[in-house]
Amino acid sequence: MAHTQDPMEVLNRYLDEHGMKHTRQREIIVGEFLKSNKHLQIEELLNQVKKIEPSIGYVTVYRTLMLLKECGLAHQRHFGDGKSLFEKAGDHHDHMICIKCGSINEFEDDRIEKLQEQVAKRINFKIVSHRHEIYGCCSRCQNE
């Protein structure tokens, strides 16, 4: 029955195993990150966090996100090629990005995943991860 998958547990275990400390800042930042349900820019998360503890700076948020990446709790993405976005690790999904309003729709299609694997196998390529993004115009923006 053990083996909790609770993100906070995962983080705490990672910290302990690496001789790292449990600090108030990390707790706040991770808490806010996990609470959110969208793709977050560093600055956005920083703003959230500053509402709770204004003294926390960009760098600490940045480092905490790197930490979350390292223990597998977050993924970093680069869409429009501006700033990085971070999302909670979890079920896999790909993205449809509206080039007008920037909104992001997530999608998932097992048939596509399967075909990917087929294509990779053909040249003996071992897939580690992938990125599939569709750019275009969302239904809202099509009606001006």
Partner DNA sequence: CCTCCGCTGAAAACCACTTTCAAATGAGTT
Partner DNA sequence: AACTCATTTGAAAGTGGTTTTCAGCGGAGG
The torsion of the CA quartet 59, 61, 63, 64, rounded to 10 degrees, works out to 160
- Residue 137 within binding range of a copy of itself, rule CB under 8 A: yes
Nearer to a copy of itself, 5 or 143 (CB): 143
Closest among 54, 55, 7 to 30, alpha carbons compared: 7
**Taking the complex as a whole, how short is the minimal distance between the CB of residue 18 and DNA, in angstroms?**
7
- Residue 123 within binding range of a copy of itself, rule CB under 8 A: yes
CB 61 within 8 A of CB 42: yes
Q: Which amino acid is it at 50?
A: K
Interface region with DNA, contact rule CB under 7 A, candidates 1-9, 24-32, 98-106, 110-118: 24-32
Gap between the Cα atoms of 36 and 68, Å rounded: 14
- Residue 36 within binding range of DNA, rule CB under 7 A: no
Task: Provide φ and ψ at 140, rounded to 5°.
Answer: -60, -45
Interface region with a copy of itself, contact rule CB under 8 A, candidates 17-25, 29-37, 56-64, 119-127: 119-127
- Structure tokens that stand for 31 in this block: 């808490």
Closest among 90, 100, 91, 86 to 29, alpha carbons compared: 86
**Which one among 99, 101, 102, 104 touches a copy of itself, defined by CB under 8 A?**
99
**Which one among 5, 6, 128, 144 touches a copy of itself, defined by CB under 8 A?**
128
Binding footprint of DNA on the chain (CB under 7 A): 15, 18-26, 41-43, 53, 55-60, 62-64, 66, 82-84
